[in-house]
């Protein structure tokens, strides 16, 4: 387990409002040095705004935050010197080559020429971009663009790296390669703060924060968060999962169980797994819906998020 005695990031009641919309709502959390911290939530949850606040790109409405020991408002320039930031959109220059983009960012960060060549060669090797250094950035694949963006964010050797949904829309192989690079960075004691909507990627993080509508719902390791699920998850397999889930929902409104559909699999959260399994099998069979399997499983992070979200709703919002 990563020691959390030395903090790379700390926030205290961090809040950002845009008119009547509160995008980040009294966010309090901390991130240890040398770990991967994942901020997880759906689109519009407040992930990008949180990252922009921590990167000193925008100022909070209220609250405080510190990155590498520097206050994000009062010491914004010091923060920017210590961090690398990679936004959701490809922010490089398509009409410049790979090497020209890297040199451009090296100029921005005033990387000394005596160190620059060695650093660039190192980054090109570890991102596997060396064979493509003369290719125009606009002609790169999605995965290669992400690697170039990461390389440019690392050119000045930041201590904290902010990555805003870096693998969104990238193919699975490129996603795997990207994470391999991130693990290499951990060995160099770089702290990585990554936002993602991919819960399979969240499993790779040291610690996670679940965020929804600007509020931090839960914080912990993936294993700790899975322990927040109160009850047993029954996985039900059927050829007509949507129809089966709809029927189950009609009959569990007053029982406390929750039904959620994940692709072709139904997850039923219950405190009485054996009794509920018999009841669900009987109900679906009587309705002519054949069950190919029903078994207890360990909760996934999807289950955790749904469970925590349901538990956070005011009673009057619950169905």
> H/E element holding 302?
helix 301-312
In a domain, 271, yes or no: yes
| pLDDT tens sequence across 218-249 | 999 999 999 888 889 999 999 999 999 999 98
- Regarding whether 161 and 128 lie in a shared domain, the answer is yes
Which range marks the domain in which residue 212 is found? 7-226
User: Residue 294 has what pLDDT?
Assistant: 94
| CB contact burial 68-102 (16+ within 10 A = b; e otherwise) | bebebeebbebbbebbbbbbeebebeeeebbbebb
Shared domain check, 215 and 237: no
Residue 190 located in a structural domain = yes
CATH code assigned at 164: 3.40.50.300
Where residue 247 sits, what CATH number does that domain have? 3.30.70.270
The residue count for the chain: 319
The pLDDT value given to residue 90:
64
Mean pLDDT to the nearest integer, 77-99: 90
Chain center to CA of 307: 18
pLDDT in tens, 136-188: 999 998 889 989 999 999 999 899 999 999 888 778 888 888 898 899 889 88
What predicted TM-score, i.e. pTM, was given to this entire model? 0.85
SS3 content of the chain, % helix, strand, coil (to 5): 40, 30, 30
Token pair of 166 as six digits: 């870096």
The count of structural domains within the chain is 2
52-65: pLDDT as tens digits: 999 999 999 999 99
Name the token pair of 36: 């991967």
The DSSP H or E segment spanning 133 is none
Residue 147 sits in the same domain as residue 288: no
Residue 260 lies in a domain: yes
Q: Is the per-residue pLDDT at 258 higher than 70?
A: yes
158 with 150: CB under 8 angstroms?
no
Report the candidate in 90, 45, 83, 69 with the shortest Cα–Cα distance to residue 214: 45
**Same domain assignment for residues 184 and 218:** yes
Q: Is residue 150 part of a domain?
A: yes
Same domain, 83 and 182: yes
Residue 100 belongs to a domain: yes
Is residue 275 a part of any domain in this protein? Answer: yes
């Amino acid at each position: 387990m990563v020691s959390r005695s030395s903090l790379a990031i700390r926030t205290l009641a961090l809040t950002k409002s845009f008119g009547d919309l509160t995008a980040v709502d009294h966010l309090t959390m901390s991130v240890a040095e040398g770990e991967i911290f994942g901020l997880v939530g759906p689109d519009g949850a407040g992930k990008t705004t949180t990252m922009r606040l921590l990167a000193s790109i925008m100022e909070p409405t209220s609250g405080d935050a510190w990155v590498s020991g520097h206050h994000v408002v009062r010491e914004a320039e010091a923060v920017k010197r210590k961090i690398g930031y990679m936004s959701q959109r490809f922010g490089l220059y398509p009409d410049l080559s790979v090497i020209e983009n890297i040199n451009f960012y090296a100029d921005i960060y005033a990387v000394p020429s005596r160190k620059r060549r060695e650093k660039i060669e190192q980054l090109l090797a570890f991102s596997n971009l060396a064979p493509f250094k003369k290719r125009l950035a606009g002609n790169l694949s999605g995965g290669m663009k992400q690697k170039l963006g990461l390389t440019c964010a690392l050119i000045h050797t930041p201590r904290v790296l902010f990555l805003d949904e870096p693998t969104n829309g990238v193919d699975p192989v490129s996603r795997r390669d990207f994470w391999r690079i991130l693990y290499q960075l951990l060995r160099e004691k770089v702290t990585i703060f990554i936002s993602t909507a991919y819960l399979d990627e969240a499993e790779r993080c040291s610690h996670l924060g679940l965020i929804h509508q600007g509020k931090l719902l839960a914080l912990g390791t993936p294993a700790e968060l899975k322990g927040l699920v109160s009850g047993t998850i029954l996985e039900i397999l059927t050829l007509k999962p949507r129809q089966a889930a709809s029927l189950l929902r009609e009959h569990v409104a007053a029982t406390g169980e929750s039904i959620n559909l994940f692709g072709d699999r139904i997850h039923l959260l219950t405190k009485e797994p054996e009794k509920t399994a018999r009841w669900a099998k009987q109900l679906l069979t009587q309705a002519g819906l054949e069950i190919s399997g029903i078994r207890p499983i360990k909760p996934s992070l999807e289950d955790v998020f749904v469970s925590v979200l349901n538990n956070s709703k005011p009673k009057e919002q619950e169905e």
